[in-house]
Every structure is written in structure tokens, then in C-alpha cells.
Amino acid sequence: MCHRRICQPRFLRIAASVAALAAWLCLAAPSLAAEAKPGEPAAPPVPPAIAPLLDAIQAQDAAAAEKLARDLVKLGPQGIADLCGLVVAPGKIDDSKARFALHGLAMHTARPGAETERMMVCEAFRKVLAGPAPAAVKGFFLRQLRLMGCPKAVPAISEFLLNEELSEYAAQALVSIGGEEATAALRQALPKATGKCRLTLIQDLGVVRDAKAAPDLLKAAADPDREIRLAALFSLANIGDAAAADTLMKATDVEGLYEKSKATDAVLLLARRLGEAGKKKEAEAIYRTLWQTRADPRDRHVRCAALRGLATVLGAGAMDDVAAAMKSDDLQIRAAAVEVAATLPGEDVTAKLIEQMKALPPASRADMLGLLARRGGAAAETAILDAMKDADEGVRLAAVTAAGALKGDKAAPALLALVSSDNSKLRDAARRSLERVAGDPASAAIAAAIPSAATPQAKRDLLGVLMVRGAKGQVDAVAAIAAQDPDAGVRQAAMGVLEYLAEEKHVPLLVGAVVKAKDDGERGAAEKALGALCGRLVKKDECVDKIMPAMGGADVPAKAALVRVLAKAGGPKALAAVRAAVKEADATIQEAGVRALADWPDASVAPDLMEIAKTGVKQNLQVLALRGYVRLANVPADRAAAEKLKMYEAALAAAKRPEDKKMVLGAMGEMKTIAALRVAAALVADETLKEEAAATAVRVARNMGDDVRSDEAKADVRAAMQKALEILKGDNVRKEAQGVMQRLDRK
């Protein structure tokens, strides 16, 4: 059973309908112009003043619909009455234009400040209700009156409350209109109503919260019909009638789970309404009854709801109930108690929670610590820090986790003391909490603790914490560790932090770290950090200008690293240095130069790479260059397809090994042009490439989708797919080829 109209404001319904109106207009427009066929009943004649307005209806936006409504208002009472006369019962006559116009008129006149217009339209609609129109037509006008809200139409609307076909529309309209007259009409109709009409009235009397209807609703709560009973229970609850408490409570004592659940919902709703009305004792009595009597584990959700209700009604006065719930063996009830306790205000509540925590079992103490962290305050902080020394490991872990929510100046020292703990669980929990502790003072405390940390692992862990925190204010301290710590692993970890946090002023330090590195691990970490920094600097030449002088005195591994870093900076200065490196005699420097070109941020180096791919002395350099060139086919990302294909064709021509050609074909498979498909299809003749070429043709054809226009293109695609099906063995790629063929057959 759905209580469907719990007081959505009329203006919200109107606003929602405006968008629907434009959508309806677009959908209805094609049929609005339809004429009656010979032999079918003709639509009522359209008055001359109305015809142009209806003929103008077509797919348009909400603004155009609003203009139409303004023009309709100008027709005056008689014109609107004539428009109402064009609405007929559903059948073969198309009255959608008239219905659309009247619906728009109802929404237009429902706006604030349009009382005079609204009364004029309302009167026209009222007269339809009073006339001989079919029920289906009257239902349409009742729905429009619901949108408008016309108190003067209440008597006319009320006539349909006992009409089995129209009672729902009439009741909805009265609920929307509101006020004593509309509510009285609903109430007075109830004793005479039966069946569907009675159910509708019972529901809506609850929606309008009519206290005067309570006696009749109490009778309905004992009705043999289950839907009537449940509707009455909801309405009594929503009205907030304290006298109905016993009736609602007794209704929960049934065998059927559905009815028991609905009746319980009604009891909880009644308690909430009583609390909202200031009747706290009555609400408390209901909540306590539910808490005490619903002991079945299947009813734990009811007990949780009752506990929340007690907290809402009593505030801090519910503390004893909450504390008792925290001792429950039921995990869900304990969790609900913690949630409730978090909402209770006041330091005195915090103090009571701390006192209660001392007597709780370990699992409940652990729950309580998370609650105290959420509540905050000096007393809560002290309790959490004290619990970090608890005898129970689970409580200590919970306290360490809770400490992550505290202020850094209080929590950081205690957490730092655990970073070197022998207990891995406590150590990991402390690290995670240090990542969360708020404030720059915490970051400063962490950075200050690193040099004196007990083990290299602890130092690395704390450096990781600073990286997670994004502690830019401590980057100088990290740089000092990267330069001075005696442990190579710690220095590398510090470089890892600098990779993300270093600033322009740290370029010299990182260049020096590359040059002075004692092994490949340190050099690699410094290279990554320097490359990342050069890549994110706006003034990239600032980075290049620091690297260039250092290259002259660097040994081969360091110089190679600096050459690779130049690719992250880019620009003419860096490119000149990289081109020079490619021509050096040392093989390591040469390779570094080619790698830098292959990683270059723009396509200006494409000719360099192609030249190396064609004429390079060493095969590994040819392969590196070719891969870099193929990557640049997509740089920039919006490169024209024809230009991209031209680069792929050049790469295929330059490639000396089948595996390199396959690499090019793999990249070309992302294209979606007939020209690319033809290139791939042509390579099927190459015995060493036929499978890769066929698969590439299938991928390109799939990417093209329905964008195969000319007969010539269709023939080429079909031929390529047929050839692919002859060659390819894999199920997935064969299915794709067959799918392409099926699309061609549908065209």
C-alpha cells in the first residue's frame, strides 16, 4: 500500500509539470494535426477564435507553451468554455490539442499572483463538472483542478467523492486545495463511502491530518478488509492522535508479517508525530513499549528505531537507555546505540559515555572510542589517548584508529611513538591515522620525527605518510633527508616524496642527486623525481638551464639519466642537447638520446625518429625510434585521420622486422576510416603479417560502425571481412567480423 500524496507542495508539482508539458508537446505534436477518417465520428467544431491557437501547436519548448497559455487567457470566459467543449471521451476523435491547451492553461493560471485568471478558468472547469460530460472528461478536468487549487470548486469536486470511477481524482484535488472546507468534504463523505472510495478517503484524511476524522478512522482500523485497516492505521498515526496509541499497538499483535510490519511502521509514525507536537511523555511511552516488547532478533530494527526515537524525544535524558543498548549482545543494536549517542549534545553526555565505557566489554569499548572521536572535545581526546594503552589489543587498535580524527598537536606524538612498534597491527594503524590527523602541526611533527626514527623502515613509513598528506610545507625537510640520510633506502623513499612535492627551488638538489648517486636505484629515484618536477613546472627552461651545465661533468650513467629527463621538459634548448646526445660515440648516451626523442612531448621530433628507424646503426635504437614515431601519430590527439594514416604507412615502410610491422598494425587498429582498412587488407597477402593484418581490418571495420557510405567502400569492407574469416581462428574476432557483415547486410 502506497501513501502517495504526503503533502508535496502544489508549486513543486507545477514546476515538475512544466518540463513534462514541453515533452508532451513534442510527443503529441504529430497526432494533433490528424484529421478524422471517413466514417469516423468528427471532432466538435472548433470556434474561429480558438482554431488559430490550436493550429499553432507544434513541437516547441516550454516558453512557447507558456505563450500559448497567455493567448488562451485572452479568450475570456466564453472562449475558455468553448475550448472545454472540445474535450471528448477517449475514442477515435483526436482531442489532444484541446487537452494540451487546457493542461497548459491550468499550469499557467496556478502561478502566484494569477488569482483573477485562475478563478476564470476554475469557473469554466467547474461548469464542466456540473454538466452532462462523460466521466472520463470530468476526470480530466478534476486533474487540472488539482494542479490549480481552486477553493470555490470544492462543492463541485466533492460531488464525485463517492463516484467509484472519479473518487481518486476528486480526493486528490481536495487534498491539493487544502483548507477546512476541502477537509470537511473528505471527512463528511467517509461514513457514506464503500469500497475503493472508502480506501481513498481514509488515506487522504491521513494525508491532510484531520483530527476530527479520528473517530471514524478508529472504526475503520477494525475493518475486516486488510487494506482498509492498514490505511486507517497510517492515517491515525499521521494525524498524531494520542488516543489511537492502544489501537495501533494492538494492531501489531498479528500473525501476518506484512500487516505486523505496516502496523509497526504506523506506531513509530505516531510516536514521531506526538514528539513533534510536544507530547513527549506519550511519545516516550510508545518508544519504551516497543523497546521492551520487541525482543525477537527479527525485530531488532524496531528496537533500533525506538532507541533513536527516545533520543529524539528525550535528548541527553536518553543516555541511560543508550548506555544499556551499548551492552547488548546484538551487533546491530550496539551500532545503533553508537550512532544515537553521537547525536546527543553536551560535554556532560561525553563524560557519562566515558564513565560508562569503563564497565563495557572490550568490543563495546572499541565501538565507544569511534563514537568519542566523532563527538570530539577535550575529555574525548584524553579518553582516546588513554585507551591507546589499554590491556586489550582490540581496544588499543580502535583507540589508534580513533586518534586519526583528533587534533594533530594532541594525537601526533602518541601515534609517532607507535610507528616503530613490534606489533605490526598497531604500527599499520598508527601510520594510517597519521595520514588522517588534521593540521600542519601534525605534518611538522611527523617530519621532525623522521631523522630520529628507530629504524630505516620507520623512516620510510613516515615519509610515505608525508606523501599521502601532501605535506608541501615539509618539502624542505624531506629534501634534507634525501640528501643526508645515511640509509640508501631512506634516501630513495625521500626522492619518492619529492617526485610529488618538490618545487622549482629543488631542481639543483635533484640534479645533484642524479649526478652524485652511488647506485642505479638512487639514481633512478632521483631521475624520476627530477623528471616529474620538470614536467610540471610552467617555466620548463628553468629546469633545462640547471641540467645542461651538470651534464658536462657527469659520468655516463648520470649523463644518460639527465638526457632522459630533458624529454620531460621539452623545448628547443632541451631538444638541441638530446640531438647532440644521439650523435655521441658512447652507446649508453646514444640510447638515452633516442629514448628521450621517443618520449618527447610533441611531434616536432617525428622526422628525427623516422630517420633513426630507417638508418640507425643498431637494431635496438631503430626499434625504440619506430615505437616513439608510432606513438606520435596520436600527438596531438586530434590529428587528422589522413595525416595519422600517412605516419602509420611510413612506419610500416621503415619497419625491418615482422614484429615491428605488427606493432604498427596494432596501433592502426584504433582508426576508423576506409583508407586504413584498405591498408590493412592489402597486408593480408604478406604471409608473416596476414593474421595481424586481418585482425586490424576487423577492428577498423568495427570502429567504422554504420559509417560505410559508398558501394565501393561496402564492397571493400565485405571483401576484407570474408578474407578475415578465412584466416582468423579466434572466436571473438570472428564474431566481430560476422557482426560487420551483418551490419552491411542490413543496409
C-alpha angle with apex 510: 504 to 512, nearest 5 degrees?
125
Strand-pairing partners, residue 438, are 407
pLDDT digit string, tens, across residues 502-547: 999 999 999 999 999 989 999 999 999 999 999 999 999 999 999 9
Secondary structure of residue 407 in the 3-state scheme: strand
Taking Cα atoms as reference points, which of 312, 339, 241, 250 lies closest to residue 282? Answer: 241
The C-alpha cell that represents 107 in the structure block: 499550469
Provide the 3-class DSSP secondary structure of residue 38.
coil
Cβ atoms of 164 and 197 closer than 8 Å: yes
pLDDT of residue 42: 63
Going by pLDDT thresholds of 50, 70 and 90, the confidence category of residue 58 is low
- Each residue of 354-404: pLDDT tens digit? 988 888 889 888 988 988 998 888 999 999 999 999 999 999 999 999 999
pLDDT over 60 (residue 7): no
| pLDDT per position as a tens digit, 608-628 | 999 999 998 899 999 999 999
| Cell output for 594 | 633516442
Nearest to 529 by CA among 575, 477, 482, 480: 482
What local confidence, expressed as pLDDT, does residue 567 receive?
A: 96
525/513 Cα distance (integer angstroms)? 9
Q: What amino acid is encoded at 719 in this protein?
A: A
Q: What is the pLDDT of residues 653-674, one digit of tens each?
A: 999 999 999 999 999 999 999 9
By C-alpha distance, which of 345, 343, 348, 403 is closest to 370? 403
Q: Taking the alpha carbons of 31, 33, 39, 41 in that order, is the dihedral positive or negative?
A: positive
pLDDT for position 60: 56
Higher pLDDT, 157 or 62: 157
Residues 537 and 504: their CA atoms lie apart, in Å, by 7
pLDDT at position 677: 96
Closest alpha carbon to 509 in 549, 464, 546? 546
Could you tell me if 490 and 478 are in contact, meaning their C-beta atoms sit under 8 angstroms apart?
Answer: no
Q: Give the per-residue pLDDT at 168.
A: 95
Omega before 636 cis (within 30°)? yes
Which residue type does 312 have? T
What one-letter code names the amino acid at 654? A
What's the pLDDT score for residue 617?
A: 85
Q: Are 396 and 426 in contact (CB under 8 A)?
A: yes
Average pLDDT over residues 486-505: 95
pLDDT digits (tens, 9 = 90+) for 13-53: 444 444 444 444 443 433 333 444 555 556 688 888 888 78
Cα–Cα distance for residue pair 83/153, rounded to 1 Å:
19
Distance between CA atoms of residues 465 and 428, nearest Å = 11
Is the pLDDT reported for residue 651 higher than 70? yes
Q: Between the ranges 376-380, 406-410, 475-479, where is the mean pLDDT highest?
A: 475-479
**Is the pLDDT score of 106 beyond 70?**
yes
Q: What is the per-residue pLDDT across 683-732, written as a single tens digit (0 to 9) for each? A: 999 999 999 999 999 999 999 988 888 889 999 999 999 999 999 999 99
pLDDT of residue 43: 64
Q: Rounded mean pLDDT of 187-202?
A: 96
Q: What pTM does this model have?
A: 0.66
Q: What would the pLDDT profile of 547-562 be if each residue is shown by its tens digit?
A: 999 999 899 999 999 9
pLDDT at 747: 62
The pLDDT score that the predictor gives to residue 709 is 81
Phi, psi of 163 (to 5 degrees): -90, 115
* Residue 708: per-residue pLDDT: 85
Higher local confidence (pLDDT), 59 or 435: 435
Q: Read off the pLDDT band of 329 (50, 70, 90).
A: confident
Average pLDDT (472-495) is 95
Question: What secondary structure does DSSP assign to 605-654, as a single string?
Answer: GHHHHHHHHHH-SSHHHHHHHHHHHHHHTTSSTT--HHHHHHHHHHHHHH
Which ranges in the chain are annotated with CATH 1.25.10.10? 359-438
Cell triple for residue 644? 595519422
pLDDT at 28: 41
608 Cα distance to chain centroid: 46
How many angstroms separate the CA atoms of 390 and 147, rounded? 64
Query: What's the CATH code, domain 359-438?
Result: 1.25.10.10
DSSP code at position 696: H
Residue 9 has what pLDDT? 43
Mean pLDDT of the residues in the chain:
90
- For the chain, count helices (H), then strands (E): 43, 0
* Residue 407 φ then ψ, to 5°: -70, 145
Q: Give the separation between CA 523 and CA 553, rounded to whole angstroms.
A: 16
Q: How many CB atoms lie within 10 A of CB 538?
A: 6
Q: Please state the φ and ψ torsions of residue 256, each to the nearest 5 degrees.
A: -65, 125
For the record, the C-alpha cell of 671 comes out as 582508426
Residue 601 in this model has a pLDDT that exceeds 70: yes
What percent of the chain clears pLDDT 90, i.e. is strictly above it? 76
